[in-house]
Amino acid sequence: MADHTLVFIVLGLTLAAFVWGRFRYDLVALTALLGSVMLGLVPGEEAFLGFGHPAVITVAAVLVLSRGFERSGVVDVIAEQVLKVGDRLFLQLVALSGTVVVLSGFMNNVGALALLLPVAMRLAREHDTSPSLLLMPLAFGSLLGGLTTLIGTPPNIIISSYRGSITGDNFGMFSFFPVGAAVALAGLLFIVLVGWRLAPQRAGKASTEDMFDTAHYLVEVRVEEESKAVGWTLRELQQELEETIPVLAVVRDDKRRAGHAFLSVLKEGDILLVEAGPEEMKLLEDKAGLRLGIDPKDAEAVDEEAEDESQEGEEDDVSKEQPRTSKQPASSVEPHSKESNKPEKERTKKKEKRGIDTEGLELVEAVVRNDSMMVNRTVTQLRLHNQYGLHLVAVARDGSRLRQRLRDIRFRAGDVLLLQGGESNLTESLATLGCLPLASRNLTLGQPRLLAVSVLIFAAAILAMMFDLLPAAVALASAALLALLVGVLPLREGYQALDGPVIVLLAAMIPVGQALETSGGAALIAENLLVLGVDWPIVVTLVVLFLLAMLLSNVINNAAAAVLMAPIAASLAGGFEASPDPFLMVVAVSASCAFLTPIGHQSNTLVMGPGGYRFGDYWKFGLPLSLVVLVVAIPMILLVWPP
């Protein structure tokens, strides 16, 4: 079998695995690489040269520098200004989308989105704006901003390195700017004037309470004298139940202790604040002998009060939604036998006290990233509590809370989790798991010295690249090293900033992409395109190339799309006996235009859960935006990079 046929088979299986999504894309890419070696398509001694490829080193350095910007407070200074725009939706869109476009040009676009996502959620909450109107424009803006510079997005870095391999001269830091800036500006105008109207408006998803309806599922159960749970630890309780029922807090002697930090044994009179529905309540009663936190003798009095309030037209969602046992409201905290005889104001105070109080429980929302270790695994397999000190309270997908048992949920990229954990290790645990916190954070402006140092280091690297003093990989790697040495970023956080799956994906796919070229596969594809377009002008071929790369980037990682399409673009240029620059630039732009699906780019996936989006929501907004990019990009490429 011919080598190019084997390459097509390997790539076909690889693309199918990417689209299927059952396995992480870095594992798929590594499998493709090792399979190519075993088939003789990639020499064994060259199999892992991709890990030292300049494109891979450049991407790694940019990730470290991006984290340095975050820690030094550079981005928070900008975010603080964004939060001042007020309640006008137009200004919110301009501030968020415009800021992420600018940031994405000088740091990794996924990193820029991750930094502004909590800001967008906070804006939505403070001004009662549906986050679905803000988050998709924010994600698309991050993709557009990455087009403007060499380091904005991995496809630009890959295309620059590939150009260097065939012409001996890489694209420079701002070689992408004339085309990228025009496309980004046109895209930004479309987003803030027209595009946001195409995003779905999903109301009531802006807060933890609305997303998860948490208060309606929190109940208090009491440890009675005859309860089996007397003398058990919380871990033993979970083992006995054989079910993941989060215990958010334990109340003893009027003092509340967070569940994740409660290491004592349960005693008579303890009250457990648990996340439970009717099935879980039955388990707690049958297997542990736990009862709802109210004395039975007071049930009648409370029922009478609830009836009176209903007649007065006062809506009490908690009492309606929570599970009941023997007609007892699940939200009760303490006995209220004499409450109905008390004055109205005192009754109101008591009523407020009976509501479940979640203050101080350190609940945080987090979204599961594409590269998270949680993807396709359950809470039991991850051992969230034992390994990371986290309680899983609830899971939301596509903007709605999942009602199935927590232990049965296999996490997906884009899921929004409601977690409880200790403040000291919460951030580190989320970073290790590959989750992005969404809760509104307090903006920290960092230290002025570190802020200035990080900017100066980055500026020095840019100048070295602009004046050809150092190759891009060397200049940026030196800047990343210097940032670590001077303390802008601790070494541990520097390693955490490295996006392992992306690094492995690039390092594995680069030799496979080279095999596509050396086997003659890229030339064969280009020849067929040339035969079909023999009478076409070059502009039509560029449009076809643009559409092919864009469609590919919407189903696989954009870096992989650039790796695969670059040899085809170069072969097409050779067939036309034209400069490869416009063809390569078309691939660079189109590979970053993954606006049609939530799986084409991490930015799209990250906003899917918080925005309450569904798979089909993306193309309604993304298709016209893609056409805008196409209409602007092709003429600009021909103007700046004539064939």
Which conformational region is residue 362 in: left (phi greater than 0), alpha (psi within -120 to 50 degrees), or beta? Answer: left
CA dist., res. 399 & res. 416, Å (int): 8
The length of the chain is 643
55-73 residue pLDDT tens: 899 989 988 988 887 777 7
Rg (CA), the chain: 28
CA-angle at 503, arms to 512 and 451, nearest 5°:
150
Selection from 485, 439, 587, 475 nearest residue 526 by Cα: 587
Q: Which residue has the tokens 């209220």?
A: 336
Q: What percent of the chain has pLDDT over 90?
A: 28
The amino acid occupying position 420 is Q
3-class SS letters over 159-170: HHHHHHHHHCCC
Strands 290-292 and 363-368: unpaired
pTM for the whole thing?
Answer: 0.71
Selection from 582, 596, 601 nearest residue 543 by Cα: 582
Name the band, by pLDDT with cuts 50, 70 and 90, for residue 582: very high
Q: What is the mean pLDDT of the chain?
A: 80
Q: Which residue has the tokens 């704006």?
A: 129
Name the band, by pLDDT with cuts 50, 70 and 90, for residue 211: low
Q: Which residue has the tokens 């569904």?
A: 614
Query: Within 10 Å of residue 643's Cβ, how many Cβ atoms?
Result: 18
98-125 residue pLDDT tens: 999 998 998 878 878 887 888 888 888 7
27-52 residue pLDDT tens: 999 999 999 999 999 999 999 999 98
Decide if 537 contacts 591 (C-beta within 8 A): no
